[in-house]
Amino acid sequence: MSDHLHELQPVAPLGEGYVTTGDAVPRIDGRAKVTGQARYAAEIAVDGLVHGAVVNAAIARGRIVAVHDQEARAVPGVLDVLWHGHRPEAPQLAHYFETGEDFSTVPVKPLVGDRVHYAGQPVVLVLAQRWEAARYAAGLVRIDYEVEAHETDLLRHRADSRAPRELDEDTAPPKPRGDADAAFAAAPFKIDAEFHQGAEHHNPMELHASTVIFEEGGRLTIHDKNQGGYGTRRRLAKVFGLDESQLTLLNTFVGGAFGSGLRPQYNLLLAMVGALHLRRAVRVVLTRQQMFTFGHRPEIWQRVRLAAERDGTLKALIHEAVGETSRVDDYTEMVTRWSGTLYRCENLRGDYRVLPLDLPTPLDMRAPGAASGLFPLEVAMDELAHALGMDPLTLRLRNYAERAPASDKPYSSKKLRECYALAAQRFGWSQRDPKPRSMREGDELVGWGMASGQWIAEQEEAQARVVLHTDGHLDVATAASDIGTGTATVLAQLAASALGVPLQDVRVHIADTRLPEAPTEGGSSHVASVGSAVDGACEKLRKKVWQLARAIAGSPLAGSKLAEVEFVGGRVRLRKSPGDALVLHEVLAASGAGQFEAHFHLEPDEDEQGRYERAVHSAVFCEVRIDEAMGTVRVTRVVSAVAAGRIINALTARSQVLGGIVWGIGQALHEGTLIDHALGRFMTVDLANYHVPVNADIHTLDVSFVPEDDRIVSRLGAKGVGEIGALGVAAAISNAIWHATGRRIRTLPMTPEKVMAP
């Protein structure tokens, strides 16, 4: 290992003492983060580091005719200016340039050709000895373009949409059932409404950054902001024609990602190009404005039609959607599938189409597809309830699905009914006056709304290693990522609880491709996957220690079975006779070995899991207060009840849902990237103009978990909580605004001028 590689150190625990699964354990990396000890991808100290600055295309579509880089090259400290007409000749880069675009792996390969696919496309890389020189020189580069007509307006050209080239089981519309159009026409009560949501951008606090260190023999050590080291390494190896063994990926600390780190962004590709070209360490950090020049939640138009009998039984459900994609790649999401999974309805039809535009290829963003698709469904359900003169919660219970509507499979577990009851009780829903504009406090109208949430419950293949030392320390190793969700803390907690050792004695090693393989953190599956692998490794280790303890002369555990012992308080003891115990480190010392190690490879039982529908559920109730003259909306209360399997850490799980609620408030009232269609580019490209919720926007948030234990989804009984907290919130707010004002707002974000509209 080279001298300049920052050693991955185990995080220092905050709490002390013994913990069990389910406890509210503070984040073990919290102190390192708030004191600045944590080092992110842009903060790795490397001798002789070269800095790269990116120049982005100023047109939406066309061709680069000439790049004038003479002034940039004259800046002191500038080492090179790279673009498609001045490609580096390093042999390791031949594959990158000669194979052209590879849209299946990365959205666009920078510097490969003269085509401009969208405004903001990276087209020039300036390499300099100092960041200031690189940034200044980048501003001196002048580019001549041949401009072509572009199109960025989804609503204007929605009729030109087409079916995606490929759809998998997740992103395809629900399979049709019955005759939805005939049933809709014949039903006595019906809703037909169109919805629109603008593009959203991820904007994590940490900017996307990569530090690529060139080492002897052509090996590369890469510090990058991403959500999965192994997945990122595989993509890089394919794009650059390298063997994976040449690459070490570390994403030790990640300051939020929300889907933006699921695949390599262009900062990493350009840092790789620079490092291979100069045979030196290169760092590329995007600016906040450049954070708006790659993937985002796509703009989408939707139409939902619901029909019901007098008693509220759904007779028809039709959900159509047109989503934005780019010219170079089809991006698809699971948008309309939720209408086929959440409620019972014998007549169903869904349609999902894409419209290629001259914009960056969209990218998964927290609860991709569901955040978009559930909004119109849940607002339309509220509209139908009003048309029926029925309570919105009653309508949902009337059409509650006890089995999966699409497949007729049983649920591995489903406690949505209990979520409804708990959240309604905590909110006080029974006191709601159903008439719009019926509630007021002072100068503000008051509205109450509710909605349902649903997300998938998945598990991925994962590996983990645990090592128990005679000094009492327990090492947990896996390449899992922690993008701010608290993964490291949960893994430490699981191991400490399983072996009965103090939390402060657990050292967690993650986010390094030299460690056992772990999946990318995404889709709310990380704890169910990596956590289960750690649990499996700990089970193996417990068996080894028990076998040794049982064999010790005069052992009180002699003749015992593994199921009859437990590891508690630093001891291994009989469950029925806690006094019959051996101190753990003394057992290890008796072996004469310095450590005990166990490895576990989790491979989900797809046949067993495939027999069930697996999902997490939530019920969201919210209160808004509206100054009608100003159009301002205050979300004063949100109550969310979540069924997400067994909760491993009550504190971090609650934090995930709280953060999700804030996301939902942002989706509802604040977030939307505006496009200048004349120029074909995003306009709101900084945090001064792209609005997100701030402290003053957040009031009382109430989160509860409905007890649930799902051993089909994971051996821990856990499901994921990363996405579910954001779902249903925007719809509940929209429904509450209608209740307060009598106005239906079907476009997001619901900004003051829409609230004020007659």
**731: which 2 tokens?**
């719809």
| Alpha-carbon span 225 to 265, nearest angstrom | 9
**90: which 2 tokens?**
């390093």
- What residues contact residue 497 under an 8 Å CB cut-off, 6+ apart? 19, 20, 21
**251: which 2 tokens?**
């994403």
Active site residue 723: yes
3-state secondary structure 658-698: HHHHHHHHHHHHHCCCCEECCCCEECCCCCCCCCCCCHHHC
User: Hey, what's the torsion of the CAs at 240, 242, 244, 246, to 10 degrees?
Assistant: -110
Strand, coil or helix: 273: helix
| Alpha-carbon span 639 to 277, nearest angstrom | 54
Inter-residue contact 674 to 683 (CB < 8 Å)? yes
Is residue 228 left, alpha or beta, with left meaning phi > 0 and alpha meaning psi from -120 to 50?
beta
- How many CB atoms are closer than 10 A to CB 408? 9
User: Hey, what's the torsion of the CAs at 519, 364, 703, 256, to 10 degrees?
Assistant: 70
Continuous H helices in 199-323: 229-240, 266-278
| Alpha-carbon span 740 to 626, nearest angstrom | 7
Distances (CA, A) of 15 to 11, 38, 472, 511, 514: 12, 18, 17, 22, 28
Inter-residue contact 248 to 221 (CB < 8 Å)? yes
Q: How many residues does the chain have?
A: 758
Q: Which residue has the tokens 């300099």?
A: 128
In the set 324, 333, 517, 723, the catalytic residue is 723
| Alpha-carbon span 131 to 49, nearest angstrom | 10
Phi, psi for residue 142 in degrees, rounded to 5:
-115, 135
- How many CB atoms are closer than 10 A to CB 101? 16
- How many CB atoms are closer than 10 A to CB 246? 16
- How many CB atoms are closer than 10 A to CB 201? 23
Inter-residue contact 366 to 523 (CB < 8 Å)? no
- What residues contact residue 522 under an 8 Å CB cut-off, 6+ apart? 227, 228, 259, 262, 364
Inter-residue contact 467 to 597 (CB < 8 Å)? yes
**295: which 2 tokens?**
């993937």
| Alpha-carbon span 497 to 18, nearest angstrom | 7
Query: Which residues are designated catalytic?
Result: 723
